[in-house]
Amino acid sequence: MSRLLVYLKDYKKECIFAPLFKMLEALFELFVPLVMAGVIDTGIANSDKPYIIKMCLVLVLLAVVGLTSSITAQFFAAKAATGFATKLRHALFEHIQGLSFSELDTVGTSTLITRITSDINQTQSGVNMVLRLFLRSPFIVFGAMVMAFTINVKAALIFVVTIPLLSIVVFGIMKITMPLYKKVQGLLDNVLGITRENLTGARVIRAFNKEADERKHFEETNESLTSMQKFVGKISALTNPVTYVIINAATLVLLWTGAIQVDGGIITQGAVVALVNYMSQILVELIKLANLIITITKALACANRIEAVFEIKSSQEIAEPAESAYDGHSGTAGSSSSDAVVEFRHVDLAYNSTGESALSDISFKILHGQTVGIIGGTGSGKSSVVNMIPRFYDATGGTVLVDGRDVKTYEFDELRSKIGMVLQKAILFKGTIRENLLWGKKDATDAEIMDALKISQALEFVNKKEEKLDYMVEQGGRNLSGGQKQRLTIARALVKRPEILILDDSASALDFATDAALRQSIAAMPDAPTTFIVSQRAASMMQADQIIVLDDGHIAGIGRHEELLENCHVYQEIYYSQFPKEVAE
């Protein structure tokens, strides 16, 4: 939690004024029983109406000043808590954006969503309540005890016994519930994860008639969360009845002791009423304190979970190249020819430190302007290879070079400005077609956008839309077909005219004719990019300058289509599974 307090540094004034005004309110509240004692002992006992009216006006004044102080304190506390949550949310979002795919895969999307929404909201409530009540409640509790001593020492000893008993109950319950609230938040992550999976995979669930199974799975997980919340709630609920029992017992003892002392003429009736009022104030404040501690317990559990995300460091560290290693032109020391745009040198990749290698000893060299096909069976590592070029994942062994320079020595912006990446899943964002394509180049003109649409074979269907570039795309591209989404994502990558274009199985929804037209248009571009085509279609890469065949994370063959068809068994299996031998011949 201490690390998160830095986001309160711009609200020092609010953090001081909020508790100060609350304590000012509490101070006026402590005078109320004394005024009431004066009304009883002097005004009522002597039938002194002017004195009673004067004391009633004093009570009104105390109420107005106390209310003003309370509202002022609420304002400062709310301002500090809201500002704290805003800054924390921005910082957490920025940190998450800086994590590599490896960390995002490990932590999980649902967990991060919970951290940035529910957990921060709980932490905000904790900060708000602390500023308002953390000093006020103890101040009134101990202030009431001190005021009781000024009235009668013997009666005040009841307060000395009552307050420690209440503290044991309150802090004991807090110690039990704090770890349980952490478990509740963990179960909430699970429920959120299942909900997200069901919403994003609704079509698959219905296609396989799995609604009943998923409903049962959700109900079981939700029931676990509910049971844990009930269990923690029952423990927390003990706070109020136990504290009421202790306070009421103390009040009975106080009334009994006070009655004896009044009968003996030691104290006045007004003093007994004042002591009972102070006991009531302690009851109210300790109940508030108990609820505050429950809120703080939840907030601390959530704050620790947020802090745990901040402690996750990205595995991708950017190191500026030394002058001796990089001269700004030809590449790293000992690099290959500057003609090589992309080069892999004995590259290994494991997605986590304990897992098996997804890629082993991958080595190849791609020259400027070449078209490269990467083919292989499912799980052979095709996407893993191309994901290392823009540093979505870092090689765990060997070196990946772009323009003769180790990708780890690039700033991310510098490296990724060279690359146009089209991922397997076509993702579009809510907005117009123009706004989606401007992700590729924020200052692109309409002419550049239309040119990119033409190359990607998307111009025809865009022109059929009444709004054309202003056609509104729904979130995720729900109002477009699979092929239309893929063509728009390809156009988005082409807008900035990248040096390296990576098409990661991004034409799977296109028919063969459109796929072929797309590849021809890219090849015909002025300054055609070095193009990587990842696909399981042999037809998509038959004309490629090089084809890299992968098998279980290893290179099974590199060469042109004709060469591989003669000497690469894996490529033969893939090709002849799509083109029967008699047809191919």
R_g (Cα) of the chain, nearest Å: 36
Q: Are the beta carbons of 385 and 362 closer than 8 angstroms?
A: yes
Q: Which residues sit opposite 420 in a β-bridge?
A: 501
- Between CA 356 and CA 135 the distance in angstroms is 55
Flag whether pLDDT at 8 surpasses 80: yes
- Give 195-252 pLDDT, tens digit per residue: 888 887 888 888 889 889 999 999 999 999 999 999 988 888 887 788 888 888 888 8
DSSP letter (8 states) at residue 378: T
Mean per-residue pLDDT of the chain: 84
- Between CA 376 and CA 554 the distance in angstroms is 10
Confidence bin at 85 (pLDDT 50/70/90)? very high
- Between CA 82 and CA 125 the distance in angstroms is 9
Length of the chain measured in residues: 585
Q: Are the beta carbons of 389 and 502 closer than 8 angstroms?
A: yes
* H or E element in which residue 571 lies: helix 569-578
Percent of the chain with pLDDT over 90: 20
pLDDT at 222: 92
The helix-helix angle for 239-263 and 153-200 (nearest 10°) equals 170
- Residue 496 carries which side chain, given as an amino acid letter? K
Q: Are the beta carbons of 366 and 340 closer than 8 angstroms?
A: yes
The mean pLDDT of 18-45, rounded to a whole number, is 86
pLDDT at 89: 92
pLDDT at 76: 94
Flag whether pLDDT at 354 surpasses 60: no
Flag whether pLDDT at 474 surpasses 50: yes
Lowest mean pLDDT, pick from 45-49, 432-436, 548-552: 45-49
pLDDT at 324: 36
Flag whether pLDDT at 309 surpasses 50: yes
The mean pLDDT of 336-350, rounded to a whole number, is 78
- Between CA 514 and CA 226 the distance in angstroms is 52
The pair of three-digit structure tokens given for residue 397, joined into one six-digit string: 């062994």
Flag whether pLDDT at 454 surpasses 70: yes
What phi, psi does 458 have (nearest 5°)? -105, -10
Flag whether pLDDT at 328 surpasses 70: no
- Between CA 220 and CA 211 the distance in angstroms is 14
Q: Are the beta carbons of 250 and 279 closer than 8 angstroms?
A: yes
Q: Which of 481, 478, 439, 438 is nearest to 462 (CA)?
A: 481
Residue 488: CB partners within 8 Å, gap ≥ 6? 426, 428, 433, 436, 437, 453, 456, 458, 473, 477, 480
Residue 127: CB partners within 8 Å, gap ≥ 6? 8, 80, 81, 84, 85, 299
pLDDT at 202: 87
Flag whether pLDDT at 113 surpasses 70: yes
Distance of CA 1 to the CA centre of its chain: 17
Quote the pTM value.
0.68
pLDDT at 196: 80
The mean pLDDT of 540-567, rounded to a whole number, is 89
pLDDT at 353: 57
- Between CA 494 and CA 449 the distance in angstroms is 9
The mean pLDDT of 172-188, rounded to a whole number, is 81
Q: Are the beta carbons of 370 and 546 closer than 8 angstroms?
A: yes
pLDDT at 160: 83
Q: Is 368 in a helix, a strand, or coil?
A: coil
Flag whether pLDDT at 1 surpasses 70: no
The mean pLDDT of 133-148, rounded to a whole number, is 84
- Between CA 236 and CA 226 the distance in angstroms is 15
* Per-position DSSP letters for 470-537, written without gaps between them: GPEEPGGGTTS-HHHHHHHHHHHHHTT--SEEEEESTTTTS-HHHHHHHHHHHHTSTTPPEEEEE-S-
pLDDT at 452: 92
Q: Position of tokens 């009972």?
A: 276
Lowest mean pLDDT, pick from 84-93, 491-500, 517-526: 517-526
Confidence bin at 355 (pLDDT 50/70/90)? low
> Strand 554-559 relative to strand 405-406: parallel, antiparallel, unpaired?
unpaired
* H or E element in which residue 227 lies: helix 211-237
